[in-house]
Amino acid sequence: MVRLGAHVDSATVLIATTNRGKIREFGELLGNLPLTLTSLAEFPGAPVVPEDGATYAANATAKAVTIARWSDCVALADDSGLEVDALGGAPGVHSARYAGAEQDSRANVARLLEALAGVPSEKRTARFRCVIVVARPDGVTLTVEGSCEGWILEAPRGTSGFGYDPVFLDLPSGLSFAEMPAGMKNRLSHRARACMALAPRLVDFARVG
């Protein structure tokens, strides 16, 4: 079993995703804690939890609780989305499937840029939002969230990151999230900010479980 940030005699937290980008980021953001992090990439038989909730919190809670009970260990799940003001907050909770059920990042970005065609830069404001839920096998949960503000570019820039990162501009740095070094993104991103809120509480929560 591949372990991220493994520590001797530490509690295990199962990251409830097979998304390699998310697994890597959680490893970077939480790997310094006295925990052993693993992921569903190591559990091919895990149940698939439908992400059909009306909110990020509903989706993250469903994933975390289901996987915690199935695995009998503490499970961490997140649901994240891009909220574009000119589109009334869309794609929002539907971000991963904006262009279809295949969760094709390039298709999602293409649809987003098409929807924003002709919208001037000053009206392309947006934010990434992330809700993280950690669940113990007994059903007790811990919830945190984080967000970051930005603008949507007219064309993708950069080759790092995943999802909508190539078109999400951080105005102070002038970089898209896909142009940023990992360390920089891990200070600014919605997932980073949610993990900053989670880190002081996660170890004690996991050890009780």
8 Å CB contact between 132 and 79: no
More confident residue, 170 or 44: 170
112 against 8, higher pLDDT: 112
Q: Note the pLDDT tens digit of each residue in 133-150.
A: 999 999 999 999 999 999
Gap between the Cα atoms of 55 and 93, Å rounded = 6
**CA distance linking residue 112 with residue 167, whole number of Å:** 9
pLDDT in tens, 143-180: 999 999 999 999 999 998 889 999 999 999 999 999 99
Please report which confidence band the pLDDT of residue 10 belongs to, taking 50, 70 and 90 as the band edges: low
Catalytic residue positions, numbered: 79
Burial 39-67 (b: 16+ CB within 10 A, else e): bbeebeebeebebebeebbbbbbbbbbbb
Q: Report if pTM > 0.85.
A: yes
Helix, strand, coil percentages for the chain (3-state, nearest 5): 40, 25, 35
User: What is the chain's mean pLDDT, rounded?
Assistant: 92
**Token pair belonging to 38:** 């693993």
Task: Supply φ then ψ for residue 147, to 5 degrees.
Answer: -145, 160
Q: State the Cα angle at 154 between 151 and 159, rounded to 5°.
A: 85
Q: Please name which of 61, 19, 56 lies closest in space to residue 41, comparing C-alpha atoms.
A: 19
Question: What would the mean pLDDT of 187-199 be, rounded to a whole number?
Answer: 95
